[in-house]
Chains A and B, each alone.
Chain A
Amino acid sequence: MNFFLLSLLKLGLVAFVFLTALAYLQWIERKVIAHVQVRVGPNRVGPHGLLQPLVDTIKLLTKEDLVPSYVNRFFYLLAPVLSVSTALVSIAVIPFGPEIEIFGIRTYMQLTDLNIGVLVLLAASGLGVYGVALAGWSSNNKYALLGGLRASAQMISYELPLALAIATPLLLYNTLSLRGIVEAQQGYFFGFLARWGVFSLFGLLFIAFIIFLICAFAETNRIPFDLPEAENELVAGFHTEYSSMKFAAFFMAEYANMVNICCLATHLFLGGWLPPFPAAYGSQYIPALVFAAGGALCLFHGTVNLYRARDKYTLPAFGVVFLLIAGLHLAPPLMPVLVPLFWFLAKTGFLLFVYIWVRATLPRFRYDQLMHFAWGWMFPVSIVNLFAVGLLVALFF
């Protein structure tokens, strides 16, 4: 039963990290948007508002769990469950790093390595529609219904180009297992340019990457495609009638979907946990350097030139923590574990940042524009791209 034990261990670890990450993603988003809009953002609870997510969670948990009288109770309660479960299940197939050995136990940095991992992700995102649609329908509220219909229509429409954009690199990798996909991207062009999806096939896959990103925005109902919850038209769209933890569930689902799809993008196009340039050029020391630099910066601002009095203790503390992390990255036994993890998280984090960045920058589409964009542009382009890549692969590989 060693297998089960290990699995449970990994499960607990991943669940904890993932959920916390979701909570803090929320904080990061608020911070980033605030700074984009030249505000400060949450900074009351804890240093730099670092405890904000905790407080939010407590608030949501302790709020009155009210169910409107006119809703269709069963489905009304079922919807958020569906939504969040389909969102969370995806993380199970996503690898975070290569096969590693800790304390003599060899294992994958991944819950389970299905040979149809990509399909599972697609299926999960496909099922995600139900939560939204049901929520919209069951809460017997025209805004909610409109929001739900919009959401489902939009998700179905954008799932097509999304699937095509996913299929495009698969032509090159010849596998559906995410691990296999990453391993297929090992190696370097000309010895230094990473053999990632985006760089392969004369940049044809880059088009696929862009398509994938756009569709990802639509899949996760994010700005500029957040029609289903367009505040100024639909109050709050499909989750108008939801409050407290049920609302939190939808919220969590949204961010979980974001994270999942960013991980998928990282694996499909950005070479997963592979470093951008060979170890020969010292890529394995980059993480340590980054953290060390961060630590140094914190210490510098915490001690030598101090902006604000209250940073006197926090910044140095952060500096020390960062330096410690840097040290961990250099520790021989942990290096093979942490370095890939770092690269993976870096890439995913960058994509998430793009998400937030876009949200802070772009306005919202009109609904007909949205649909026309899906069927009139994304679909043809992705199909043509698919054919082109297929042709190239058939010719040269």
Chain B
Amino acid sequence: MPPQLPDGVPLFAYLLVSAVLFVLGVAGFLFRKNLITVFMSIELMLNAVNLSFVAFSYRWGKVDGHLFTFFVMVVAAAEAAVGLAIILTVFKNRSTLIVDDVDSLKL
């Protein structure tokens, strides 16, 4: 990569940040036990993707990336509403929030 940083930040830096955040989200999804935390990890992944969207949008000088980000936000909001409602229901019915205990969907 270029050694001398010019006045400004290379685009890939943003993308790397987004990549790292995404992986962190995945890690959270894989290793956390609390349903809500798992859900939040998903949100983290979405945010990481948003960042790269905006970065790409800068790269191409178009506004479309922002639009995608916007839509992702809307979808995330809807998802949060339904997901949290589901979590509440799950807690109501089995009084646990541990992912591994919610495993009746198996053979």
Direct A–B contact present (CB less than 8 angstroms): no
